[in-house]
């Protein structure tokens, strides 16, 4: 496992997005913690969750409680593991994603997340999405107050544009350490935000980093979900003897030293495969080929509803 920097902390170059362990189609109670344990065994030290990662209409915090149990039952050392959670979204019955960025809600949500995670202070707490009904500065100001109160140690923003990132930096200073936006070979309209993160020294955590790459084994059909141009990722994978997903993550890591992808997983083997991408170094020729194959920047909507 290679490592990168997040807010002065050393974290694995590839993290684990825990969302699939708690939403629709989630694994059973044995496979879910086994998936987390497999990621930890592979050297992953960044686990990403949110209070809204649960079934529609269910009690918030399923994913946070799951990670807390998985860490408590892990046989190895977890002192270097950073759990990053988010607040400001909800999943009421019906499956829609709601947004609530009011300071009152964020403060209560952060305290509830802290208790579910069983920690004195949350390592990294992120505003899940800007609320159009609440001034952005007020939502970020709540994160500042949570830091001052000792409820959280570091802060991040998610689904934010460049202007919002700059405003968050003005309010939070060096306590703003990360930006979590959608970014993948198929969705690249957060390119300006990625460049800004590199400029400001912030970690950029792409969510849904494998978008556009089929979830098929290497020896199966090379499907690319209708995006034939991304076949190059499968071709490079075949030549290397690895999965297209590993190639996709290696491509992301090569885009910028600020990038720390957080691919989701619901099976131990998937978590191990993603983690292995940290050690897959692409040649300049492969990187150029994949750059050409990836979707051009500013094509899709990076600020999608799902995370």
What is the C-alpha to C-alpha distance for residues 256 and 197, in angstroms, rounded to an integer?
10
d(CA 147, CA 175): 8
Catalytic residue among 3, 53, 125, 183: 53
Q: Which has the closest alpha carbon to 307: 108, 159, 193?
A: 159
Backbone angles phi, psi at 219, to 5 degrees: -85, 5
Structure tokens at 274: 């993603």
Q: What angle do CA 84, 103, 129 make, to 5 degrees?
A: 50
Q: Are 130 and 164 in contact (CB under 8 A)?
A: yes
Nearest to 123 by CA among 154, 80, 146: 154
* Three-class secondary structure of residue 157 per DSSP: strand
Measured CA distances, 273 to 217, 235, 240, 243, 248 (Å): 11, 17, 14, 8, 12
With beta carbons less than 8 A apart as the criterion, state whether 56 and 79 touch.
no
Residue 299: count other Cβ atoms within 10 Å of its Cβ.
11
Look up residue 216 and give its two tokens.
């098929």
DSSP state of 130: -
Evaluate whether 7 touches 154 at the Cβ level (below 8 Å): yes
Q: Which residues in the chain belong to E strands, given as ranges? A: 3-6, 9-12, 16-17, 46-48, 82-87, 89-90, 98-99, 122-127, 152-158, 176-180, 203-204
Q: Any catalytic annotation for residue 74?
A: no
- Name the residues annotated as catalytic: 53
């Amino acid at each position: 496992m290679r490592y990168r920097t997040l807010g002065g902390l050393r974290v694995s170059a590839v993290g684990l997005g825990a969302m699939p362990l708690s939403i629709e189609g989630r694994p059973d109670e044995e496979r879910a913690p086994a998936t987390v344990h497999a990621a930890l065994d592979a050297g992953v030290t960044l686990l990403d969750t949110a209070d809204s990662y649960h079934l529609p209409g269910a009690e918030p915090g399923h994913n946070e409680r799951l990670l807390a149990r998985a860490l408590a039952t892990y046989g190895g050392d977890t002192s270097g593991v950073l759990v990053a959670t988010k607040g400001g979204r909800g999943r009421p019955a019906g499956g829609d994603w709601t947004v609530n960025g009011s300071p009152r809600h964020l403060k209560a949500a952060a305290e509830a997340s802290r208790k579910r995670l069983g920690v004195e202070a949350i390592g990294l707490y992120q505003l899940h999405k800007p609320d159009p009904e609440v001034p952005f500065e007020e939502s970020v100001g709540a994160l500042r107050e949570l830091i001052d109160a000792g409820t959280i140690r570091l802060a991040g923003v998610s689904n934010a544009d460049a202007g919002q990132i700059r405003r968050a930096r003005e309010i939070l200073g060096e306590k703003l350490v990360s930006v979590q936006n959608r970014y993948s070979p198929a969705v690249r309209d957060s390119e300006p935000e990625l460049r800004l993160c590199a400029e400001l020294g912030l970690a950029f955590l792409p969510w849904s980093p494998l978008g556009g790459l089929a979830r098929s084994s290497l020896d199966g059909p090379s499907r690319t979900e209708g995006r034939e141009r991304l076949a190059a990722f499968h071709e490079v994978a075949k030549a290397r003897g690895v999965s297209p997903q590993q190639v996709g993550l290696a491509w992301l890591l090569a885009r910028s030293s600020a990038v720390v992808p957080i691919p989701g997983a619901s099976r131990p083997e998937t978590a191990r495969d993603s983690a292995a991408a940290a050690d897959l170094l692409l040649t300049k020729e492969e990187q150029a080929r994949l750059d050409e194959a990836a979707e051009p920047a500013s094509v899709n909507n990076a600020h999608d509803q799902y995370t």
